[in-house]
Amino acid sequence: MLSTVLQVLVFLSVLLLIAFPLGEYMARVFSSERTFLSPLVAPIEKYCYKILHINPEEEMDWKTFAINLLLFNLIGLVAFYVLQEIQPFLPLNPQKIGSVRWDTAINTTISYVTNTNWQSYNSETSMSYLTQMLGQSLQNFLSAGTGIAVGMAFIRGFQRKTTTDLGNFWVDLTRSILYILLPLAIIWSLLLVSQGVVQNFHHYVTTHTLEGSTQILAQGPAASQIAIKHLGTNGGGFFAANSAHPYENPTPFTDYLEILGMVVIAAAFPFAFGAMLKDRKQGWSIFAVMMLLFVGSLSIAIWAEFHGNPLLEKIGILNGTNFEGKEVRLGTLASTFFASATTASSTGAVNAMHDSLMPLTGLTLIFHMATNEVIFGGVGVGFVGMILYAILSMFLIGLMIGRSPEIYGKKLEPFEMVMTMIALLLPAVLQLVLSAIAISNHTGVASLGNPGSHGISEILYAYASGMGNNGSAFAGLDSDNPFYNLTVGFAMLIGRIIILIAPLAIAGSLVEKKLTPITSRFPTFSLTFVLVLAGIVVLVGGLAFFPVWVAGPILEHTQLFLVR
């Protein structure tokens, strides 16, 4: 156990050492300050504005920002859907893969444009190399850039005063790609290739196994997509087995890189927030809340996996250790840590089968997604979600101490609270409604791989993953059918729209207000605030979902010991 603790501490220390300077760098990028990459990237940035006829000095109010964002993503939806349907007639398709079935294409299109990367299809047999690169990899950059742009606009709502300007969507999108995502993706890609991750355009290779049968080994430009899918918290695997595939995750070092990539930009956002507000204590407090919740849920998951399954112990397996579905090359800790990081960061990549995890581990993963992916969440939007919980916390605190609620120097009024509650509670309501529809009809239940409480967990996980724009799944659920493709697709789309538009509306209201001296009796950089905010996240998630969690993972955990 000491070794486990040391490994976790080393990882979290490395994360902090990278996230803090990265956050400071991001603040400089989006404040139009010179950085060490400016001599190389600034000319490219100016050229992009020139050919796209963008005036970088022109700023937008929240409505204009939102309209541009939605139109841009609408174009992406149409283009990616068409690409999947015409891929048989396009180059870079050595396996002659045909068109994607209509409902799968709709689900996949929504999935990648919304930064979810839910995959109900088999990657190797459904998508050509061109579709993987021009569709999936491109959207990995664009959807992540969209989230970062919204995060920065939201920060400006607190940073600026008596104006309507929140920045320029096209400028923020361009800078997020050129200064942050692309440089990091190049570094990560080269490191992955150095470890044996494939990056080629070869035909698939047919080999003979030791048993005498044949096996087809997929090839392709994998490393470049794997890098950005983790850094952009997207998660869609180049291979169907995702990061459990040895071509995608061949060594312990690549496993470490992929986990780090999932959380590093999201973890840097609070530090960028503090730097842009010129009050770095505020950034540290938000980071502390994220870290506290992550370590807490990770500890439960590690305990559950190492504590073992009493049913396995009963049949003679030492300590009841559950190795089913684990990444046996790397060990139980690597599988558990990866699962916790991928759901906490809204990435959705997997290096083990989540359906085989212990019930309490599955509960922690569902909790990460059901609470709006705020620990650490998707790039940009995870930070935004945590600030929404902070707004709710300060509103409740204001009611208790009899003062007008305020946060970061801005007064909170009815409009901000209405939009905050929409952003936090509407996804929860829709998750429960969609889960109830799936459980109560034959089509939804027929796709289950397991009956009873675990089957309920599979359905809850699917809609929590879709609404939270995560993309991972309990693989026991067969979701590649029109019912799940369309309902999960709806969850992904509406979940993304809510977490993008509601915060922009809040920022548009806040940016018009004056900055007032922070005189709250409840400072937002105190230990008490950190604990209260973490508690609000747990309570809101628990109150909304506790009844169905009892019927799913909690009941399943109890049944293990009842049978014993």
3-state DSSP of 296-363: HHHHHHHHHHHHCCHHHHHCCCHHHCCCCCCCCCCCHHHHHHHHHHHHHCCCCCCCCCHHHCCHHHHH
pLDDT at position 318, please?
A: 56
- Would you say 23 and 270 are in contact if contact means Cβ atoms under 8 Å apart? yes
Residue 400 lies in a domain: yes
pLDDT at position 550, please?
A: 77
507 Cβ neighbours under 8 A, 6+ residues apart? 62, 153, 154, 156, 157, 158, 166
pLDDT at position 4, please?
A: 80
DSSP state at residue 518 = -
* CA–CA gap between residue 58 and residue 170 (Å, rounded): 10
Within its chain, how far is the Cα of 186 from the centroid? 20
Residue 139 lies in a domain: no
pLDDT at position 25, please?
A: 97
* CA–CA gap between residue 261 and residue 112 (Å, rounded): 18
* CA–CA gap between residue 379 and residue 384 (Å, rounded): 9
- Would you say 381 and 147 are in contact if contact means Cβ atoms under 8 Å apart? yes
C-alpha distances in angstroms, 478 versus 179, 368, 443, 475, 482? Answer: 40, 22, 11, 7, 11
Residue 556 lies in a domain: yes
* CA–CA gap between residue 365 and residue 356 (Å, rounded): 13
pLDDT at position 264, please?
A: 96
Amino acid identity of residue 52, one-letter, is L
If the chain, 564 residues long, is cut into consecutive pieces of 10 residues, what is the mean pLDDT of each piece?
83 95 97 94 95 93 96 95 94 90 93 89 84 90 96 95 94 97 96 92 86 84 91 84 87 93 96 95 95 94 81 61 71 88 90 82 88 89 94 88 83 93 91 91 83 82 89 81 92 94 96 78 85 92 77 77 62
Structural domain containing residue 375: 280-563
DSSP state at residue 117 = -
Residue 285 lies in a domain: yes
What is the count of structural domains for the chain? 1
Q: Peptide bond before 376: cis, by omega within 30 degrees of 0?
A: yes
Helix axes 252-276, 381-401, angle to 10 degrees: 50
Residue 469 lies in a domain: yes
* CA–CA gap between residue 353 and residue 324 (Å, rounded): 8
Residue 531 lies in a domain: yes
For residue 9, the tally of other CB atoms under 10 A from its CB is: 11
First to last CA, the chain: 26
Residue 458 lies in a domain: yes
Check residue 408 and give left, alpha or beta (phi > 0: left; psi -120 to 50: alpha).
left
- Would you say 153 and 170 are in contact if contact means Cβ atoms under 8 Å apart? no
> At residue 272, what are phi and psi to the nearest 5 degrees?
-65, -40
Within its chain, how far is the Cα of 468 from the centroid? 8
Residue 521 lies in a domain: yes
CA angle 529, 387, 20 (to 5 degrees): 85
- Would you say 425 and 544 are in contact if contact means Cβ atoms under 8 Å apart? yes
